[in-house]
Structure 1
Amino acid sequence: MVQKLCLVTVGATAPFEKLIQAVLHESFIAELEKHDFTRLLIQYGKGGQPIFDAYRAEYENGKIVHDIQIGGFDLRPNMTSCLCMVREDPSIGQELGMMISHAGTGSILDALRAGLPLVIVPNPDLANNHQQELAEFLAEAGYAIVGKLDDIPSVVGQAAQRGDQAPLFRRDNGDRSIMTMSDELSWVD
């Protein structure tokens, strides 16, 4: 069976329970199934484990039924292994998946470097709405899709259509804004 993974990350510094609730909602999971996703892996970060555990309990008790494998974890020091699981690898029967991320620059740059279809969901509860600005900037530049908490299922089809057309970030592609973000985070090529 071909595997197709949707990786969701909320980051390490600020809780984002609303995104976890949105991706565990029945309508989002149904949309994943519609687009042949087989797995959902959620990095639920600070404060998200109770939401994830409550969902898993309902699923294990048979109150929720679907064919998507769902896993989760709090934090990992290095997300590279998760990003590799999203990449297409025909040798192991894996299709290109997608990443849904909070608007943290580290997570965004990781996804861009991996060439993944990327959906950025800004956290509206953070001060100054800086995540919305970053998400809109990257969407206008063609690097990502902006998702909204109240309509998260709609991004699945958009990301699936992008597929391998997701732009891969390289230092030699000339995008100064992305290079500046990369430099500020001390990324070395």
Structure 2
Amino acid sequence: MKLCFVTVGATASFNLLIQAILEQSFLRELRAHGYTNLLIQYGKDGKSLFDEFLQQYPPGSEGHHGLVIDGFDFNSDGLDHEMRLAKAWPSEGRLGGLIISHAGSGSIMDALRLGVPLMVVPNPTLKDNHQQELADILQEQGYLISSHYQEIASSLDRAERLRAQMAQWPPVSRAQEVPPPSLEQVMSDELGFLD
């Protein structure tokens, strides 16, 4: 099993990401990269999109591209269990997968702790798009892949390259005159922690 877990978070709707994940081009590309399972946390407003997809492409149909596709709206216990399904676990027959997340700082921190490749997709419909700033900084430092929702299929190659780079963790930043802020500094700033 090689699983791609997608989360849109618990507070804001992100139907643009759900639609992009369910596009045939993305599913085809996911399968081409060896994935067997797609698990989607579609949030409070994404159920209708997920149900429409299943009506149009029932399980086992060509529209699933050989993938087992499941979804749910919310997990009050958090997403730790679902995220861990993307972690390599050879004794259970699991290959290392991928987490695709909205760019919420909590989701990013949870995914980074697991050491699983992370693709972050900032929600462009948010009024103050702090998600894009966070995603850009963390991508620049080599911690994750930042992608626009319309480019997730083509970003899968970058996610697989990130997997190889993660073997050399922590990431090596490009030489710069002023070193970029550390992950700890970025997360502290994002979460509002003061020194």
Aligned residue pairs total 179
Instruction: Work out whether 1:40 is the aligned partner of 2:38.
Output: yes
Residue aligning to 1:72:
71
Distance 1:20 1:175, change over 3 A: closer
CA distance in 1, matches of 2:105, 2:56: 34
Residue aligning to 1:180:
188
CA distance in 1, matches of 2:18, 2:78: 20
Q: TM-score, normalised by structure 2?
A: 0.84
Q: In the alignment, residue 180 of structure 1 is paired with which amino acid? A: S
Q: In the alignment, residue 35 of structure 1 is paired with which amino acid? A: H
CA distance in 2, matches of 1:11, 1:80: 13
Residue aligning to 1:146:
146
Residue aligning to 1:10:
8
Secondary structure class of the residue paired with 1:6: strand
Displaced runs of 4 or more, over 6 A: none
CA distance in 2, matches of 1:131, 1:160: 23
The answer (yes or no) to whether the contact 1:117–1:164 under 8 Å persists in 2 is: no
Q: TM-score, normalised by structure 1?
A: 0.87
Q: RMSD of the alignment, in Å? A: 2.2
The answer (yes or no) to whether the contact 1:100–1:119 under 8 Å persists in 2 is: yes
CA distance in 2, matches of 1:66, 1:58: 13
Q: In the alignment, residue 130 of structure 1 is paired with which amino acid? A: H
Give 1:182 shift: 8.7
Distance 1:141 1:151, change over 3 A: same
Give a deviation string over 1:75-121, Cα, whole Å, max 9, x none. 11221111111100111111100111001011000000111101110
Distance 1:179 1:63, change over 3 A: closer
CA distance in 2, matches of 1:36, 1:181: 37
The answer (yes or no) to whether the contact 2:134–2:186 under 8 Å persists in 1 is: no
Secondary structure class of the residue paired with 1:124: coil
Q: How do 1:35-184 and structure 2 match up within 5 A? A: 35-60=33-58, 62=61, 64-76=63-75, 77-163=77-163, 165-166=165-166, 167=169, 175-178=183-186, 180=188
Structure 2: segments with no counterpart, 5+ residues? 171-181
Identity over aligned pairs, percent = 44
Give a deviation string over 1:22-79, Cα, whole Å, max 9, x none. 0000000011011000001000002000000100111118472520110001111221
Distance 1:175 1:18, change over 3 A: closer
Distance 1:7 1:107, change over 3 A: same
Distance 1:136 1:179, change over 3 A: closer
Distance 1:12 1:65, change over 3 A: closer
CA distance in 2, matches of 1:118, 1:52: 22
Give 1:160 shift: 1.6
